[in-house]
Structure 1
Amino acid sequence: MGVAGELERRGFHLRELRTVTATGRKMGSLDVAGVADGAGERYVSIARSDLAEVLLAEVPDRVELIRGDTVASLEDDGDRVRVGLAGGATVDADLVVGADGLHSQVRRLPLRPGRPEAWARRWIPGC
């Protein structure tokens, strides 16, 4: 995407994570130098808001971004994905990218136990 330079400019190179008490006494630490060294010049820590801003600046205008709603359902008919939103709207898409965090609703929906969606059966062995 050509954003590495901007990420480097906004980010910082973390060498150690520390857990400290309220008075500043070190309780524990994690040396991240090994991870950083293994990644070479490609390792940088950056605030989530800065990362989002840099990436969003590169998204073409023809891409529809939906914010402030939650995916409630996904249906793949082979030609498109029908996305049902919690707010009541339905959107047809060629591609759905869920960026809804660690406990991703988007990630969980197609893989519900006992109800694998059509795309899961096509792409995930054993579904």
Structure 2
Amino acid sequence: LGEPAWWSGVAVILIGGVTAVLGILHALMEKDLKRLLAYSTIENIGVIFASLGLALAFKANAMPSAAALAFTAALFHVLNHSFFKSLLFFGAGAVLSATGERDMEKLGGLIHRLPVTSFVFL
């Protein structure tokens, strides 16, 4: 009876894991600051889905405490990600407004030009 739910949990874990890996690989190759942040969001969504898959697998295997912990971790990551990523996009907008540039290879030395923004961004 619990086996279909267990396999669905594994499927969600695998899809989340593949999404996370592909998202971060795309982010590593990106030169545009805002696109890097967007690919990083894809990676974080993959991590969230992997945690939801863990919650499904734990629930199917009669491990309610572990399922609740995995589900809580997923929800906490959603909340945390919404706060920090919106602030990172605000920082990227501040950099774009100050420099007119989104290409990270051309944005060296920003800590000297934008010390407060750099500190908050870090």
Alignment TM class, shorter chain as reference: under 0.3
Q: If you compute each CA radius of gyration, which structure gives the higher value, 1 or 2?
A: 1
Which structure shows the bigger proportion of residues in helix conformation? Answer: 2
How does the TM-score come out when normalised to structure 2?
0.25
Of structures 1 and 2, the one with the larger relative CO (CA 8 A, separation 6+) is 2
Which structure shows the bigger proportion of residues in strand conformation? Answer: 1
